[in-house]
Amino acid sequence: MFVRVAIPIPSEKAFTYAVPEPFIPAVAVGKRALVPFGKRRVTGFIIEIMHEAACDQTVKEVLDLPDPEPLFDRDDLAFYEWISHYYLHPLGKVLGELLPGGIDVKSERWLRPADGTPFADLRLTSGQKELLEQVARCPEGVPLSRLRKTMGKNNLSGNLHLLETVGLVVSEERLNRPAVRTKKETWAILDAEIPSGEKLTKKQTAAVEALRERGPMPVGDLRRLIKNVASSLRALEQKGLIHLSEKEISRGPGLAAEIGSARNGVILNEAQATALEEIRRCLAAGQFSPCLLHGVTGSGKTEVYLQAIAEVLRGAGGAIYLVPEIALTGQLLSRVGSRFPDREIAVLHSGISRSARYDQWKRIRRGEVRVVVGARSALFAPVRDLRLIVVDEEHDSSYKQDERLRYNARDLALVRGRFSQATVILGSATPAIQSYFHAAAGRYRYLTLPARIDDRPLPRVEVVDLRTERNEQGLTPLLSRALIEAIRETLANGRQTLLFLNRRGFHTFLFCPECGYSFSCPNCEIALTHHAAEGVLKCHHCDFTARTSDLCPACKGSRVRSHGAGTERVEEEVKKLFPKARIARMDSDATSRKGDSDRILRSLDRGEIDILVGTQMITKGHDFPGITLVGVITADASLNIPDFRGAERTFQILTQVSGRGGRGDQPGRVVIQTFNPGHYVMRRAQEHDYAGFYADELPLRSQLSYPPFSRLVGLHFSSLKRQEGKRAVDEIGARARKLAATVAEGKLDVIGPAESPLARIRGRYRWQLLLRGKESRPLLLLAQTLLKGTGRDGLEILADVDPINFM
């Protein structure tokens, strides 16, 4: 018998190994296998079982099968293979990254001092002496990786090679221990009633009593009840009255504390009931049914998700409920936790320990847990009988992973839904243009919740024109008079204010405060990035470059300047203006420690904060009835990022942040400050008009053939050397153009290469190239071809399929 094993290395290939006799009964697809690989031993994943090897080459043997049960099955594997193919990422690496980490066993190179004495008159360099001393200090041996860390790379391998050759140091491969192992505990179980003649000690009697009263118990719990009970238990076991057995236990984070209220037994309003009815029909049909649930903020979408999940549970199916990482708060978890039995839910996100993740994974795969709630990676949980996937705030860019395997969980939810014949609900108040486009074309069922619960009004939105605001020094102030006045009123009424600053993205864009003109690329219609040091403006898609000018090309005004202000400055300013108010800040600096953001939200909930200043973080999912005023310090920052989705993102942010206001019984009010009051984004946001925004935006996308009218693949290059890097990148660009014209018959465009907006990160120079086309097949093929021919000259190259981030 043979197996094909996918190994987490940068290669598409899977490797064949023979299975020795004793392992044959345990072999299964989805189990890990410890195998020899070159000089090392590594853990891979069994993806196929074969009775004959493909050719008569001699193959090596599997060394161990560490899993008692498989981590995935053939259906899961088909999904993983799809991912590997689409995102241009080797299957072994996909598996290594998606399956719970820390479970792999690897061999590592260890060094130890050699026995016996070598030549006495050997002349060693200082580097060799140092290495020898380090090794001599560890007679049991030391991993090479540790020496690498402490000694740096300074010709370590050269020195080691010499020391090995002359017989001073021995190196060998040793297996490491996996970081995560199954955890077991011993339980005591009562077997028989105590025969009347039996004499028991006091402690033995107490233990028997406890077991009779409470049923089987972990020995640990008994110990807490009765001191030093261990020997008594052994005695009872010998008498045949109890037995002790080992049970695997699951480590998992409990559902978190209560923040805010969790209402049960809600009676759905008419729109909710209609939406749920449609979803029920989809579930009953048992086919892949993608739906877009478009509901304004506070319209009761979450309630619909929860009832849909309850429906799935009644039908003995499983469900996955995805939320953006930032929205995975105590508030949401207590809402979910109060609905479903604890043991049927697992929470997966990046914050939980690897051991807990591993245990949860196994419980999910066995079908013990049927609802998985989590951030993007929860999509890969091996839920059995998957009937429903909910992607809440589907437009959110945190569903895109921008490192290692670059995937989008929103898109993959649809793929997984298709594989499993499941219903997929994409929910949002501001759907991605792409999702709405598909719904409009009838590819997704369109469900809508047009009004807030109890017909609460949406907040009144005022747009303040910053071009005409001046303070005493004649400068544009951070807070306009209108916003200051609104804060004053809100404080006087004892209500809360949120001040939002969209710090995300690029700050250094140029604009004219007199007419609002901002400099954009004539080819790509995206904002040009200001490089102050070089005195130029650059397009980071096509490399268009222009000198900065002191005069505004539109109004000939002479106050052109660059823009950018941080949350801390806003906080300072607000403190000056309202010295008596209780002010807090919530951004990634203020919430660097675990629990920080929950703490801030809790005090907001208790009414201990009058004004909260924050970034993106405050715009997500939270529900606080005391907030009646929302101020947007500047709406323009995200409009001017070098990205064709600038307008879409701005509309989403403005709508989401406005949605935080007026959730209680008091109507809300929003003040948006901008230098572009005439922009369609501002107008549509003011009118809460998503459909209008879509109608404005779509023709622009079409004219410039951006998604959803095309697909993109980004290639990111980086190199330590600027000249060589640039030359290699230009060569690849030329090759791409040639292939696009010949092989792809002109069906593909090649945009760039251009320097990345963040032109240098950690010492590496960066460039990017965009491939664009209508169909994904030729795009992926071209990208694959380009990836294959590279890797020379220290040039690193990464593919990003359906990119979101162009920085």
According to the binding rule CB under 6 A, does residue 431 interact with ligand ADP?
Answer: no
- Asked whether 32 and 46 are in contact (CB, 8 A), the reply is yes
Q: Which residues in the 272-291 window bind ligand ADP by CB under 6 A?
A: 272
Name, in order, each residue with C-beta under 8 angstroms of 187's C-beta and a sequence gap of 6 or more: 216, 217, 218, 219, 244, 245, 246, 247
Which among Zn ion, ligand ADP, none contacts residue 562 (Cβ within 5 to 8 A by kind)? none
User: Considering beta carbons, is residue 155 or 269 the nearer one to ligand ADP?
Assistant: 269
User: Considering beta carbons, is residue 269 or 548 the nearer one to ligand ADP?
Assistant: 269
Q: How far apart are CA 81 and CA 713, in angstroms?
A: 19
Residue whose token pair is 């040639």? 738
- Asked whether 760 and 766 are in contact (CB, 8 A), the reply is yes
Which among ligand ADP, Zn ion, none contacts residue 322 (Cβ within 5 to 8 A by kind)? none
- Contact map string, positions 333 to 352, toward Zn ion, x by CB under 5 A: --------------------
- Asked whether 261 and 335 are in contact (CB, 8 A), the reply is no
Beta carbon of residue 272, minimum distance to ligand ADP (angstroms, whole number): 6
User: Considering beta carbons, is residue 448 or 686 the nearer one to ligand ADP?
Assistant: 448
Tokens of 734: 């030329």
403 bridge partner residues = none
For Zn ion, the binding residue among 89, 376, 416, 541 (CB under 5 A) is: 541
For ligand ADP, the binding residue among 4, 31, 301, 376 (CB under 6 A) is: 301
Which listed range, 83-91, 110-118, 264-272, 516-524, lies at the site for Zn ion (CB under 5 A)? 516-524
- Asked whether 405 and 84 are in contact (CB, 8 A), the reply is no
Give the residue from 370, 338, 340, 372 showing the smallest Cα distance to 357. Answer: 372
Which listed range, 74-82, 295-303, 374-382, 580-588, lies at the site for ligand ADP (CB under 6 A)? 295-303
Which listed range, 221-229, 294-302, 479-487, 511-519, lies at the site for ligand ADP (CB under 6 A)? 294-302
Q: How far apart are CA 163 and CA 371, in angstroms?
A: 57
DSSP state of 617: G
Q: How far apart are CA 539 and CA 546, in angstroms?
A: 9
Q: Which residues in the 607-666 window bind ligand ADP by CB under 6 A?
A: 623
Q: Which residues in the 517-536 window bind Zn ion by CB under 5 A?
A: 521, 523-524
Q: Which residues in the 543-562 window bind Zn ion by CB under 5 A?
A: 544
Beta carbon of residue 671, minimum distance to ligand ADP (angstroms, whole number): 22
According to the binding rule CB under 5 A, does residue 471 interact with Zn ion?
Answer: no
According to the binding rule CB under 5 A, does residue 538 interact with Zn ion?
Answer: no
DSSP state of 400: B
Give the residue from 97, 494, 448, 143 showing the smallest Cα distance to 278. Answer: 448
Task: Count interface residues toward ligand ADP (CB under 6 A).
Answer: 16
DSSP string spanning 177-192? PPS---EEEEEEEE-S
Which among Zn ion, ligand ADP, none contacts residue 619 (Cβ within 5 to 8 A by kind)? none
Beta carbon of residue 361, minimum distance to ligand ADP (angstroms, whole number): 28
According to the binding rule CB under 6 A, does residue 453 interact with ligand ADP?
Answer: yes
User: Considering beta carbons, is residue 631 or 646 the nearer one to Zn ion?
Assistant: 646
According to the binding rule CB under 5 A, does residue 537 interact with Zn ion?
Answer: no
According to the binding rule CB under 6 A, does residue 300 interact with ligand ADP?
Answer: yes
**Burial of 59: CB neighbours in 10 Å, binned 0-12, 13-18, 19+:** middle
Total length of the chain = 807
Which listed range, 297-305, 317-325, 383-391, 745-753, lies at the site for ligand ADP (CB under 6 A)? 297-305
Which listed range, 42-50, 292-300, 540-548, 640-648, lies at the site for ligand ADP (CB under 6 A)? 292-300
Q: Is the dihedral of CA 160, 165, 166, 169 positive or negative?
A: positive
3-state secondary structure 675-742: CCCCCHHHHHHHCCCHHHHHHHHHHHHHHCCCCCCCEEEEEEEEECCHHHHHHHHHHHHHHHHHHHHC
For ligand ADP, the binding residue among 78, 225, 266, 285 (CB under 6 A) is: 266
User: Considering beta carbons, is residue 415 or 542 the nearer one to Zn ion?
Assistant: 542
Give the residue from 396, 347, 797 showing the smallest Cα distance to 620. Answer: 396
User: Considering beta carbons, is residue 92 or 662 the nearer one to ligand ADP?
Assistant: 662
User: Considering beta carbons, is residue 121 or 455 the nearer one to ligand ADP?
Assistant: 455
Q: Map residue 639 onto helix, strand or coil.
A: helix
Q: Is the dihedral of CA 333, 334, 339, 343 positive or negative?
A: positive
Beta carbon of residue 259, minimum distance to Zn ion (angstroms, whole number): 46
Backbone angles phi, psi at 200, to 5 degrees: -115, 150
According to the binding rule CB under 6 A, does residue 295 interact with ligand ADP?
Answer: yes
Q: Which long-range contacts (CB under 8 A, 24 or more apart) does 19-25 make?
A: 19/61, 19/62, 20/61, 20/62, 23/62, 23/65
User: Considering beta carbons, is residue 426 or 524 the nearer one to Zn ion?
Assistant: 524
Q: What is the phi-psi region of residue 352: left when phi exceeds 0, alpha when psi lies from -120 to 50, beta otherwise? A: beta
Name, in order, each residue with C-beta under 8 angstroms of 341's C-beta and a sequence gap of 6 or more: none
Beta carbon of residue 453, minimum distance to ligand ADP (angstroms, whole number): 4
According to the binding rule CB under 5 A, does residue 539 interact with Zn ion?
Answer: yes
Pairing label, strands 583-586, 611-614 = parallel
User: Considering beta carbons, is residue 299 or 529 the nearer one to ligand ADP?
Assistant: 299
Which among Zn ion, ligand ADP, none contacts residue 438 (Cβ within 5 to 8 A by kind)? none
Which among Zn ion, ligand ADP, none contacts residue 376 (Cβ within 5 to 8 A by kind)? none
Which among Zn ion, ligand ADP, none contacts residue 225 (Cβ within 5 to 8 A by kind)? none
User: Considering beta carbons, is residue 266 or 554 the nearer one to ligand ADP?
Assistant: 266
Which among Zn ion, ligand ADP, none contacts residue 539 (Cβ within 5 to 8 A by kind)? Zn ion
| Contacting residues toward Zn ion, per CB under 5 A | 521, 523-524, 539, 541-542, 544
| Contacting residues toward ligand ADP, per CB under 6 A | 263, 266-269, 272, 295, 297-303, 453, 623
